Amino acid sequence: MGEVLLIGGALLLGGMVSSLVKSHPFYKHQSQKFKDVYQAKLWHNLQSEYDENEAYWISRALTDYIYDFNKRLYEDVHIERYMSHAIKEKNNLYKLKIESPNVLCEELVMRAVELRVPSMLFFTHMKELHGNCLVPMGKLTPASIQSLPGASVYYLELTKLPLSTKQMTRYLDMVS
């Protein structure tokens, strides 16, 4: 009888832990896999400049900034501690070529659809990422985004930014 209670208690505890893990922001969204892959690549690249621990937390902070639209989905003391490094590295991300700009743009649109990001927040964030040469906007927006389910509003936001020939040339020079 005691063994049955012990096994039952262990199963109950295991189920509670499992439900808590699934409710964590890391596992809440299907687009989390894009974020995880980007963070792993960025962590690997930052290890040449920082020690392993610093590189990990800086990569987490930058990935959260990019994929969560500069909106905190959860609080993490370690990430907050490394935000100043992350802000410094943000302007050099395009040099690391972690992800192709078109692929990153598609992933961010899918993430925005899933998170139901307001279009104004999306536009502001993508405009900032475009300024850092991470994603294309205006006439350079990938047409494939238009066919993504629920992405029509975000596609219009991306294409409405008028870019001069000089701006497009600068972006293309920085990316290539």
pLDDT at position 26: 52
| CB neighbour list of residue 22: distance below 8 Å, 6 or more residues apart | 28
Residue the block writes with tokens 């039952």: 8
| Full pLDDT tens readout for the chain, 176 residues | 667 666 766 555 666 555 544 455 555 667 899 999 999 999 999 999 999 999 998 998 899 889 988 776 556 666 777 777 788 888 889 999 999 999 999 999 999 999 999 999 999 999 999 999 999 999 999 999 999 999 999 999 999 888 888 888 888 888 88
State how far the Cα of 134 lies from the Cα of 92, in Å rounded to an integer: 10
Q: Which pLDDT belongs to residue 2?
A: 66
Q: State CA 20 to chain mean position distance.
A: 23
CA torsion angle 52 90 159 97 (round to 10): -50
HSE of 62, CA atoms in CB hemisphere, 13 A: 30
